[in-house]
Amino acid sequence: MEMIEVEDYQEMSRVASQFIIEKVQLLDNPVLGLATGSTPEGVYKQLIEKRKQGNVSFANTSTFNLDEYVGLDGDDPNSYRYYMNEKLFSHIDIPGENTRVPNGMKKDLEQECGQYEQLIKEKQGIDLQMLGIGLNGHIGFNEPGTSLQTRTHVVELAQSTRKANARFFDSLEEVPEQAITMGIETIMASREIILLVSGERKAEALDRLLNGPVTEDFPASILQTHPNVKIIADRAARSLMKK
Ligand code: PGA
């Protein structure tokens, strides 16, 4: 894993967006893996800005999001489909059909998971996957204890994750209990990964990622075994790092 030290959230967002833009400009049909949550919002703002300036086109880009809540449809402001449309897709020139987010409304969720894997395969896999990290080390919604050999699957959300995400909902009760997520193996199959870490509250997770063992108890630790991971971490997130 390569560490890219940045000063703050702004710089993290700038650097990450630059990696994405370079990939989009380099490849004929780039395939991006995208994330939601607070961490990537600044990246999406940068991408929209660059698109507006005419510096980049996403017309040939395809995207796969990491995860989606079960039971929320794309019109629900708390769904990740809605988040992606609002924060990125509707502001850039990517064709709607090129944007994929698991559908948590499908009756047969297992089938949806299989189809998602199939779609990724048809696009020859993900060129660049952007990740955040949960306080408990989850990547996507792969919570501690998830087998490291999973493909896209349905998960029960950890209570701590529901609490962490309750800030986006009116109450904790409204946070869904299940989600669909790319599995660890799906994420690890990406050719390149950028992991964004910002703020002091993520410092412990970053320390564990860098210095802890590879274990299912801390799913992000598997990234230690991926050949092409860049961690873009700001000063506050690095505050527990040994010099
Ligand atoms: P955050 O979430 O970006 O909202 O901190 C990251 C995650 O839980 O993966």
Reported as a single tens digit per residue, the pLDDT across 44-101 is 999 999 999 998 999 999 999 999 999 999 999 999 999 999 999 999 999 999 999 9
Overall average pLDDT of the 34-46 stretch: 97
Report how far ligand 1's centroid is from the alpha carbon of 197 (Å): 9
Residue 67 annotated in active site: yes
* Closest ligand 1 atom to Cα of 133: 9
138 flagged as catalytic: yes
**DSSP assignment of the chain:** -EEEE-SSHHHHHHHHHHHHHHHHHH-SS-EEEE--SSTTHHHHHHHHHHHHTTS---TT-EEEESEEETT--TTSTTSHHHHHHHHTGGGS---GGGEE---TT-S-HHHHHHHHHHHHHHTTS-SEEEE---TT--BTTB-TT--TT--SEEEEPPHHHHHHHGGGSSSGGGS-SEEEE--HHHHHTSSEEEEEE-SGGGHHHHHHHHHS---TTSGGGGGGG-SSEEEEE-TTTTTT---
Q: What is the pLDDT at residue 243? A: 57
Domain map (residue ranges) of the chain: 2-233
**Global model pTM greater than 0.95:** yes
Is the separation of the CB atoms in 66 and 36 below 8 Å? yes
Q: Could you tell me the distance, in angstroms and rounded to a whole number, from the CA of residue 96 to the centre of ligand 1?
A: 25
Nearest-angstrom CA–CA distance, 115 and 137: 27
For residue 132, the CA-to-ligand 1 centroid distance in Å is: 5
Clarify whether 136 is annotated catalytic: yes
Whether the predicted pLDDT of 162 surpasses 70: yes
Mean pLDDT of 128-154: 96
Which residues form ligand 1's pocket by a CB distance below 6 Å? 37-39, 132-134, 138
From the CA of 140, give the closest atom in ligand 1.
9
Active site residue 185: no
* pLDDT for the residue numbered 241: 83
| Identified catalytic residue from 112, 117, 127, 143 | 143
Spacing, Cα 38 to ligand 1 middle (Å): 6
CATH 3.40.50.1360 fits 2-233, yes or no: yes
